[in-house]
Amino acid sequence: MNQQQRDIYYPVLFLISLGLVLWQYLGMERHLNYSLNEESPISLSTQLADGRVGKGLLLRQQNKATLFCNISNSQQPDACALQLKLVENNQAGITLANFENIQLNLSFQSTAPDSIWLQVFTQHNAKHLHLYQQSILPKQGRASYSIDVDNLYQPSWWQFAQGEDQHSQQDAKITYISLLTGDNTQDKNIELSLHSVQFSGKWLQAKDLYLALLGIWLVSITYAFFSVTRGVKEQHQQSNKHALELNKINSYLSIERDNYEFMAKTDPLTSCFNRAGLSSIFGDIIIEYAEIGMPASIVLFDIDHFKKINDQYGHDEGDKVLVNLANLVRQQIREGDYLARWGGEEFLVVCTHTRLKGACALAEHLRQSIENTILSEETRITSSFGVAEINSGFLEQWIKRADEALYQAKEGGRNKVVAAS
């Protein structure tokens, strides 16, 4: 490849790479739909995965399958489940890693609140069956529910029963799914209808595309490097020019990668983490809590009457308050704690290895610091705080408890700290 060809090749390769990345991000969608009818391979589960005996009545209809279930408060908890077979006996199954979410279209009627368990059964080989599950909190009536594949997990009781370690979903192939009534043992009558199941994802996963593009770029750069090396013998000055071009390309790719990672995890105004930036941190905290009971707390707070500041003094003043407050809080928290802008004027502090009492003390200290510090030359700034300690493996419930405590603080007059029960 001569100099003129390289001058064309790399811009074209860059445009192709950019086009593929945008196409993967904005399109490249694929969907696998299962619409229920009278011929669908759906059945009543009489032997549940946890060893209980299933009950209930299953009715197949033209566009749905309906499970009728009566739950009585007995010594042996009752449960009802329906099972949808996705592949024929001689087929390998649906590769779980090819999809990002599962959407269920359900109708739910119950005389008492209850959850629904989605159980996905997969096979890694011909002999071993594995179970992944996630709970749903259904509404009365018909609605669609989307479950992220990444949120599916292997329950510990299944691992204990099978005597195996947790398996990766990478090579898992789905053979059938099951919908199971939840953990509420209160007497109730349930009518659960499944209308359709849809698996959604990308034809090409982002990591696979990036790996392929990286390989192409590495091969291209390597080839160019050897071309330049061979040219050294013929023209030393020309080879130096080629090497400089390669260094520029490598530097550009490194900067672009670093900038992309920084922008994806950082709030551009305050330089705090954003929600995506906390995802891996929350994952580590939940794992530590599940394995060894390691405590952790979150402090959720927002600026009192922030809309009034924007309306009276302008958005520039509002942005100034946000930046000043973020800098103040960043100076007050410990080195092992994390500050994120949770949205708008709302911030969240992750207090690792901290009980509720310690997090409340930090929140009170922050409240006083905000109140006593001049964050705006136009008005006095105060904040309301909600504090919650982790008590389960469900991140959404943890954040919801802190949000409810924050709501109580605002309803109680603002500029105060309320701990979640």
Which residues are known catalytic residues?
A: 345
Contact at 8 Å (CB) between 333 and 381? no
Q: What are the backbone dihedrals phi and psi of residue 141, each rounded to the nearest 5 degrees, phi first? A: 100, -165
Contact at 8 Å (CB) between 413 and 363? no
- Rounded to the nearest angstrom, the gap between the alpha carbon of residue 202 and the centroid of all alpha carbons in its chain is 16
Residue by residue, DSSP assigns 266-335 as: B-TTT--B-HHHHHHHHHHHHHHHHHH---EEEEEEEETTHHHHHHHH-HHHHHHHHHHHHHHHHHHS-T
Is 49 strand, coil or helix?
A: coil
Beta bridge partners of 303: 383
Cα separation, 98 vs 96, in Å, equals 5
Burial class (CB in 10 A: 0-12, 13-18, 19+), 402: buried
Residue 109 one-letter amino acid: Q
CA-nearest of 322, 286, 323, 328 to 307 is 322
Radius of gyration of the chain (CA): 28
Q: What are the backbone dihedrals phi and psi of residue 62, each rounded to the nearest 5 degrees, phi first? A: -60, -40
Max alpha carbon distance in the chain (Å)? 89
Residue with tokens 């100034």, as numbered in its chain: 320
